[in-house]
Structure 1
């Protein structure tokens, strides 16, 4: 009891130092005082936060990094209905365009990606167009440049990253709901002097940052509320088609630390079933330039999945 009284006295004492009084309800007065002082302090501060949240569509949105002119991260909610092709939905009708939700100072433009055939960078979707082909409107919304980041074309955006996107769409067959968080990562490199340096390219007049890596976190929820998590990180570089996607699985906390956000605190460990145990879906890769309109039926998950180790949960 004495200990509790000591804590209470200390709290009231701190409030009393600000107001010069100790009275019932002083906490709320103190809170109001802080709000008033904060309004004065921040009168001419930059906007808070420096990132902008944008809901591009009912099933996907993003937080935009105005300094780097690319998404900080994107999030999608996928079901069998959202990935089902709609009537007369055609990717060829969609065009890349600037996002008017973003101040002109912080937008990227199509001109920034001009000459991408020589520079090696594609306008890479973080929310894939093919994930939202149930309507032309939704597919069009994936083409806002706020959803785009520079990606190496051959060997990455058109190949290994595309394979990962296809794998996500195949997973929808197994889960009642699927959430996908994707984004860029900038990792430092150790130079000859033994020190770590952050080095990445900027393209275009708006100085769009070229990420060193990209990540994708897949959260699948079953009808009985079990949750499976897969977390991938791929270098923004050509990757041989023979390298399996499983090579790029990393612990979720590695992505959290490097991407600068928490996601594992969003669900209960009691609901968590598997971490980084991918379903055995066989991808038969097509030659470059050929698109697949459908996916083969995956093998039953019971065929190879095992219980997670204690370190995974």
Structure 2
């Protein structure tokens, strides 16, 4: 029997990606969404899914299955794949950052003796600590260190510079941190929480009415500063029979702390188009197969 699982609430795009970017810009300024708008809780898509995790995986420790377990739902892209102790990543040599990073969270991965104070940022690929020095940007983790307390090596691996991107300090230490904490809190309600994180370079409308993609670069290696960041969450139900999806996009700028994270939920197809990626390819049906239901 085919099973249908509801995704996280989706933000109505209106006229398209440009309209959505304008809407996010108003969110970071702290403006309120008009009353009565379709908004986040209007209508959400549902997707058919294959069975979730097998029962035999329930007691497996975080590191035993390695990248095979983390990539259970497929690769968003196939270029420059690297497997670390605690995550799998695809590195983009053009931007000197990752295209995406995927990690698997559960109660076992979140507990352990690891100490962040003993971790240092490690240079790899084509970016250096000097690129960030004096830039005004944090070295923002994509796979968060606090997600991998189960192993000191796993936590240390999150400090490779290929797992960080230039991030506005206010965003990194506030709203983005809140989103990371939300991901960890969801492990109390789901069997496994798969988190895919990455940078975006989205267009902005200029005075001439045209859309342009513009971003700063840092240091001698020209590390690209993302305009936005995304997180796609794959949430395995406790009964192991299906998954739910949630996807967020946040601008790489200060966000009013009063703006709830729910305002940044978007359809997963929005991120796929913007990033040129395909998420959960072995369970996700294309947009034409999606149906809509009224949110509870």
**So what's the TM-score if we normalise by structure 1?**
0.65
Alignment of 1:269-280 (within 5 A): none
Q: By how many angstroms is 1:265 displaced?
A: 3.2
**SS of alignment partner, residue 215 of structure 1:** strand
Alignment of 1:1-313 (within 5 A): 51-57=79-85, 59-84=86-111, 86-87=112-113, 89-99=114-124, 102=125, 107-116=126-135, 119=136, 121-154=137-170, 156-224=171-239, 225-267=241-283, 309-310=292-293
**So what's the TM-score if we normalise by structure 2?**
0.69
Aligned-partner Cα distance in 2 for 1:172–1:92: 25
Structure label with greater radius of gyration: 1
Q: By how many angstroms is 1:223 displaced?
A: 3.0
Larger RCO (CA within 8 A; separation ≥ 6): 2
Q: By how many angstroms is 1:311 displaced?
A: 7.7
* Long gaps (5+) in structure 2: 1-76
Q: Deviations over 1:241-277 (max 9, x none)?
A: 11100010011110111011111533267xxxxx9xx
Aligned-partner Cα distance in 2 for 1:191–1:210: 19
The alignment's C-alpha RMSD in Å is: 2.0
Aligned-partner Cα distance in 2 for 1:192–1:173: 47
Aligned-partner Cα distance in 2 for 1:150–1:53: 21
Q: Which aligned runs of 4 or more in structure 1 are off by greater than 3 angstroms?
A: none
Q: Is the 8 A contact 1:112 1:205 kept in 2?
A: yes
Aligned-partner Cα distance in 2 for 1:199–1:217: 24
Aligned-partner Cα distance in 2 for 1:63–1:131: 19
Q: Which has the higher helix share?
A: 1
Q: By how many angstroms is 1:198 displaced?
A: 1.2
2:18 corresponds in structure 1 to none
Q: Deviations over 1:66-86 (max 9, x none)?
A: 0100010000111110111x2
**SS of alignment partner, residue 153 of structure 2:** helix
Q: Is the 8 A contact 1:51 1:66 kept in 2?
A: no
Q: Is the 8 A contact 2:189 2:238 kept in 1?
A: no
